Structure 1
């Protein structure tokens, strides 16, 4: 039931009351302390963007749109040290934007029930993900030149001179090469990569395959390009630490890598790429890169779907990013204008 009378409180007052309620739910086990602090942080950001003296009920759908856009443009301080010309740290990731939207939506839902607002302004919000900023550059596909620069740097890692500060048993060049090459050429989800075990890789008729355990308990057997299979074999023979853990990717101490470790590896390999080919990219951005360049090279769409582990072709469209100059190339090689081969004899 809605309260009979509206209580006109400020955004700051509403935030304090709501956060107190959220933290109380941790005492009953309904929320984890970590989740409660995420809510508290997002609500504090709402107060900052809306103005602590603003009356909560005065916020309109347009105000919410402006807050969402402002949040999307806030610098993301978690990643720093991007190269000149890239957008590392320039704004919030799509996942952070979605989380922030969920947090303030929960606050307004409670505010509606508590009688702090007459109408939930989230129901009048019309701003789209694209208007909030869409995919960050790090999540978009690399161009062919950028991707070739990264792949080239990864392929050169096994021959790279060792760092003076590292002992032989601390070297990770082969492992780092495997990580980047698998991400860039096969396009697995980062969760699929870090879950991979040595036994998931097998050979059939001279072709090396990776049995990937994906979403929903589905598996797919993906053949590896020859160059990638060679680097993988070199890693297994002389780069992977001797350990009881069956994980494919191990730290030099013999522990399975975590998702966050993968980004650090990509960034480390990127530093070896020539500056004119270098651009920050996430593991998911490399998944976009795989899909984009396979499709741009006219690889069968269903084959690309099976490589990426999508259940249907409609999902694949979200991973196909626009490449500069691709329309010009397509029109230069138009199938209706190609010379027909001369008849024999």
Structure 2
């Protein structure tokens, strides 16, 4: 496993893997070694052993999800309790193991790939994917309204100055839901990446494969950004990360694993009838789904999300309740009859 981790990290130098992708692969194989048992011989593992690891991982607490609201960036995790791994995390873990064992066969570390004998079904593992990851209009509206209220409400004077993270949390959720960046793109964002051109505020996003894209921010999002830069970020700035946009209360760049807790804190303020749990990637699906449902040009949506291929959008377009009925009510061939 150590040799594999060194190999994966070396591939970031040649550009074969982004640092974020390499870190995911490394973390997953290290978790696999821990769950399988460090004293095991790799070539002795069979499909049943991998099944046991997959099930153990599925039950493993997920530190990104916390029950209840916590004003910091992780201090209440031990008290609040944690949920088991999400379906998406389980699917990612399984993909990481498949990549690892394919390499192990090529390198001669194992004679047979045990992934071919894995029998754990999707049902036993909680499902590979959520049935629908995009929020509906009502659910997304509830989340955005809660974020706006969080940004506008006065902070109690009793709260410590360095733990007043409401504006930061609101901005992070609004950017995820309206612009749809990858979570790594959000946490890597710097203050200098936001600029004004022709009176409009833009975000220069540094995406996969070294590609960049300039995405214009809707006016309400730009206003919230200005508010955070003027009133929110100065409370968190310790001079440790002078460029980072989103800072933890310790003054460091917000980590990818903290973003789910940020979303959950905003979700806790949404009225129950409009609340549904969602991940950062689910908010990316929400952006794509609703832009496409509004008949936004597909290539424009592709450029907003940073996809190199238009066909990738099909994976991000989730079904919405009532959309077929709405489409048939405005059928283009029956416009004359309606007039």
- Give the structure-2-normalised TM-score: 0.73
User: Which has the larger Rg?
Assistant: 1
2:203 is paired with a residue of what secondary structure? strand
- For 2:52 and 2:308, how far apart are their aligned partners in 1? 32
Contact 1:196 1:247 in 2 (8 A): yes
**Structure 2 residue aligned with 1:4:** none
Describe how 1:163-174 pairs up with structure 2 within 5 A: 163=156, 165-174=158-167
Give unmatched runs, 5+ long, in structure 2. 10-25, 70-81
Match of 1:182 in 2: 175
Name the counterpart of 1:159: 152
| Aligned counterpart, 1:315 | 312
Output one character per residue of 1:230-275: Cα deviation in whole Å (capped at 9) or x when no partner: 1111111222124541111122342211112211111111111001
Answer yes or no: is 1:81 the counterpart of 2:74: no
**Secondary structure, aligned partner of 2:196:** strand
Give the Å deviation of 1:277. Answer: 0.7
Q: 1:296 and 2:293 equivalent?
A: yes
| Matching residue of 1:272 | 269
1:75 Cα deviation (Å)? 3.9
Q: How far apart, in 1, do the equivalents of 2:335 and 2:192 lie?
A: 48
| Residue equivalent to 1:94 | 88
Matched with 1:14 is none
TM-score by length of 1: 0.72
SS at 1:240's partner residue? helix
Aligned to 1:230: 223
Aligned-pair RMSD on alpha carbons? 4.0
CA 1:81–1:136 in structure 2 vs 1: closer, same or farther (change >3 Å)?
farther
Tell me how far apart the structure 1 counterparts of residues 198 and 337 of structure 2 sit (CA, whole Å): 37
Give the 3-state SS of the residue equivalent to 2:61 in structure 1.
Answer: coil
What is the Cα deviation at residue 183 of structure 1?
A: 0.5
Quick one: which of 246, 249, 274 aligns to 1:249? 246
How far the C-alpha of 1:40 sits from its partner, in A, is 2.3
* Cα offset, 1:283, TM superposition: 0.8
C-alpha deviation, 1:104, in angstroms: 7.3
Are the aligned partners of 2:101 and 2:113 in contact in 1 as well (CA < 8 Å)? no
Q: Structure 1 stretch 321-330 or stretch 289-298: which is displaced more? A: 321-330
Q: Which moved more, 1:123-132 or 1:311-320?
A: 123-132
Q: Report the Cα distance in structure 2 between the residues aligned to 1:313 and 1:231, rounded to whole angstroms.
A: 31
Q: Secondary structure at the match of 1:268?
A: helix
Q: How far did residue 191 of structure 1 move?
A: 0.8
Instruction: Return closer, same or farther for 1:128/1:310 CA change in 2, 3 Å cut-off.
Output: farther
Match of 2:55 in 1: 71
Alignment map for 1:18-37 (pairs within 5 Å): 22=1, 37=30
SS class of match (2:328): helix
Aligned to 2:255: 258
CA distance in 2, matches of 1:304, 1:337: 28
State the partner residue of 1:328: 325
CA contact (8 A) 1:72 1:97 kept: no
Please list the CA deviations of residues 123-171 of structure 1 after superposition, one character each: whole Å capped at 9, or x if unmatched.
Answer: 466999799623236x811111110000001111222132454134532
In structure 1, the gaps of 5 or more residues are 1-21, 48-54
Report the CA distance between 1:91 and its aligned residue.
5.5
**Contact residue 42 and residue 100 of structure 1 kept, 8 A:** no
Q: Which residue in the other structure is 2:129 paired with?
A: 135
Q: Higher mean Cα deviation, 249-258 or 303-312? A: 249-258
1:84-104, CA deviations, whole angstroms, 9 ceiling, x for partnerless residues?
xxxx94654334334245537
Match of 1:13 in 2: none
Q: CA deviation at 1:341?
A: 8.5
CA contact (8 A) 1:141 1:285 kept: yes
On the 8 A contact 2:292/2:317 being kept in 1, the answer is yes
Deviation string 1:2-60 (CA, Å, 9 cap, x unpaired) is xxxxxxxxxxxxxxxxxxxx57x69x96799966642224436xx9xxxxxxx977x6x
Matches within 5 A, 1:140-151: 140-151=133-144
